[in-house]
């Protein structure tokens, strides 16, 4: 059975592979690496890429942290006795220069407690500034293909979970076109720990082919100042989700993680306009109208 040390080592290698792929696809920028240490236990490698040909700002973060579980986390899990935890994973957010290239996020993670409980989590979601049906269909098909290699129930189940999770309740809209999201994936009568880990590896290794495809396909599409302005508004909605709803951000801050790494997901620039209203019949109005749950992008 796979061990936490082996999972940690795999995630370190995944970070290396993804960074190399993104640097090659961008063709200009390279990652800056910061090694950091967490006083309570563990640390990580923060890698940030900025001012490239395609990528304006992005991060590929690896961490492996451990120690006593925070009281808030204990309460959220219904635990009364103090336990230690071990958590490791890779988290990615990429903000492109062009409003025609989508924002992407991925996270794959493993969590273990000293009481013997453990689980996997993760997912990928896409946030286009402008929703293009062809791109949305291709993206969801790649995720379905990856899920189907392991369990035909995964894609519909985890797609619905993503719709529900990546949702700005205060605006009644999804963050983007969703993707897949899963958490608390544990062993049962049909799945071993190794099988769950193989699925997580499948998702992690699908990231680079998916995003470099969009980088190459969309980077040279022309755009105007109008599209750049809308991109800043869409980035603002992205920030709202990460600060108000994202569990990973909250967990990192509550466990005294490295603030710079936790807030890496923020774009370099965003904008908020009071009571923004898209022009009727515009592409902006169309995109905002598609930010809703339950769309079958594979139809």
In angstroms, the Cα distances linking 137 to 52, 280, 297, 299 are 27, 25, 5, 8
| Beta carbons within 10 angstroms of residue 156's beta carbon | 13
Determine contact, residues 111/121, Cβ cutoff 8 Å: yes
DSSP for 5-32?
Answer: HHHHHHHHHHHHHHHHHHHHHHSS---E
Sign of the CA dihedral running 21, 22, 25, 28: negative
Nearest 10 degrees: CA dihedral of 72, 77, 78, 79? -80
Catalytic residue, chosen from 105, 140, 170, 245, is 105
Q: Cα–Cα distance between 55 and 66 in angstroms, integer?
A: 32
140 is catalytic: no
As given in the structure block, the two tokens for residue 299 are 């139809």
Determine contact, residues 206/146, Cβ cutoff 8 Å: yes
Of 166, 149, 134, 139, the closest CA to residue 240 belongs to 166
Q: Cα–Cα distance between 277 and 197 in angstroms, integer?
A: 45
The one-character DSSP state at 179 is E
Q: Cα–Cα distance between 264 and 121 in angstroms, integer?
A: 20
Per residue, the 3-state secondary structure of 68-133, as one string, reads ECCHHHHHHCCCCCCCEEEEEEEEEEEEECCCCCCEEEEEEEEEEECCCCEEEEEEEEEECCCCCH
Q: Which residues are catalytic?
A: 105
């Amino acid at each position: 059975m796979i061990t936490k040390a082996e999972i940690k080592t795999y995630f370190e290698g995944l970070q290396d592979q993804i960074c190399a792929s993104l640097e090659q696809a961008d063709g200009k920028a390279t990652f800056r690496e910061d090694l950091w240490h967490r006083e309570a236990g563990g640390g990580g490698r923060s890698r940030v890429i900025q001012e490239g040909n395609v990528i304006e700002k992005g991060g590929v973060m690896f961490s492996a942290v451990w120690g006593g579980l925070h009281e808030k986390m204990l309460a959220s899990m219904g635990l009364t006795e103090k336990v230690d935890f071990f958590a490791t994973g890779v988290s990615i957010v990429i903000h492109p220069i062009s409003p025609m290239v989508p924002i992407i996020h991925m996270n794959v993670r493993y969590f273990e407690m000293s009481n013997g409980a453990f689980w996997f989590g993760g997912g990928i979601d896409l946030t286009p500034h402008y929703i293009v049906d062809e791109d949305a269909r291709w993206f969801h098909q790649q995720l379905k293909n990856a899920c189907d290699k392991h369990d035909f129930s995964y894609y519909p189940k985890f797609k619905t979970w993503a719709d529900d999770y990546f949702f700005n309740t205060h605006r009644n809209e999804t963050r983007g076109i969703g993707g897949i999201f899963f958490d608390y994936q544990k062993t049962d009568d049909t799945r071993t720990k190794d099988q769950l880990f193989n699925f997580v590896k499948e998702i992690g290794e699908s990231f680079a082919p998916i995003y470099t495809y969009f980088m190459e396909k969309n980077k040279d599409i022309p755009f105007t100042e109008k599209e750049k302005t809308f991109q800043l508004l869409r980035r603002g909605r992205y920030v709202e989700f990460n600060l108000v709803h994202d569990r990973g951000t909250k967990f990192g801050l509550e466990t005294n993680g490295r603030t710079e790494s936790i807030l890496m997901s923020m774009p370099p620039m965003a904008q908020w306009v009071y009571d923004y209203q898209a022009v009727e019949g515009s592409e902006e109005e169309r995109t905002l109208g598609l930010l809703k749950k339950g769309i079958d992008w594979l139809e």
